[in-house]
Amino acid sequence: LPKPSPNSRSTSNRARSKADGVLTRERIVAAAIQEIDERGLAAFSIRNLAGRLGVYPTAVYWHIANRNLILAEVVGQVLGGASPSANLDWRDYLRQLLGRYRSAIKAHPNVAPLVGAHLIGNASIPFAFVERLLAKLSEAGFTGEDLVDAYNTVVAALAGFITQEFAPVPEEGGDAWRAGIQERLLSVDAKACPTLAANLPLLANRAFILRWRSGAEAPLDASFERYAETVVAGLERFAEQVRAPAIRR
């Protein structure tokens, strides 16, 4: 065997698995998830991926067309099993769906920026997921345009919290960087920002924009629960209006 690849890390020269040493689309995606988990999305490259797989970078292109497609498969894989079972009240279904989406990303926080930020490329449409959500919203009473709006609201809500909660810290995010944010936060002008100043201990590192740790290190469990309940309650109100269309606010 020649050297595995010019880009393979010299410290860990794992040979390509010999049992069935074939490169497949599945093995490529699995390795991509590992690579992103361990080294982050910013450092993910075809060349590093090939190094991990013990092949030349260009070998990957025989199995999958480009980098974006790999990332689309990665998010598909990570979120794959997140659709809850169908025999639930629609409210509980939404609660479970939101929670399971979050759990899936919590297990692979570095893929969070991929959720919702891009129209997934040529990856296949997740028909089962879409159908079940639509069916549940139909059970709630939504039809026609209302069904479209309710569906879009739920999908938007699925991404809203977790993409921010698990958003990666900037690469320069050392202790100095964290200390800088904390310092600026503590130096808030209590005259100009009385509400912020009064609640600073509660908000620091626990509120979006005002934190210096990602959800991977400091999860926002309580806020997420409230977020999910808010979405469900809002849709409940929407469903009531839909079912009693005579009463307009």
**172 touches a second copy by CB under 8 A:** yes
Task: Residue 232: name the closest of 130, 93, 132 by CA.
Answer: 93
The Cα angle at residue 114 between residues 108 and 115, in degrees rounded to 5? 85
Cβ proximity to DNA: between 28 and 157 the closer is 28
**211 touches a second copy by CB under 8 A:** yes
Concatenated DSSP letters for 193-209? -HHHHHTHHHHTTTSTT
Cβ proximity to DNA: between 18 and 191 the closer is 18
- Shortest spacing between CB 243 and a second copy, in angstroms: 15
176 binds, among a second copy, DNA, none (CB under 5 to 8 A by kind): none
Tokens 């040493």 -> residue: 21
**237 touches a second copy by CB under 8 A:** yes
- Shortest spacing between CB 125 and DNA, in angstroms: 22
**43 touches a second copy by CB under 8 A:** no
**What CA–CA distance (Å, rounded) separates 100 from 133?**
14
Part of the chain binding a second copy (CB under 8 A), chosen from 15-23, 54-62, 81-89, 226-234? 226-234
In the chain, the amino acid numbered 25 is R
73-112 binders of a second copy (CB under 8 A)? 112
47 binds, among a second copy, DNA, none (CB under 5 to 8 A by kind): DNA
C-beta separation of 35 from 48 below 8 A? yes
Cβ proximity to DNA: between 22 and 119 the closer is 22
**199 touches a second copy by CB under 8 A:** yes
3-state secondary structure of 147: helix
**What CA–CA distance (Å, rounded) separates 128 from 199?**
44
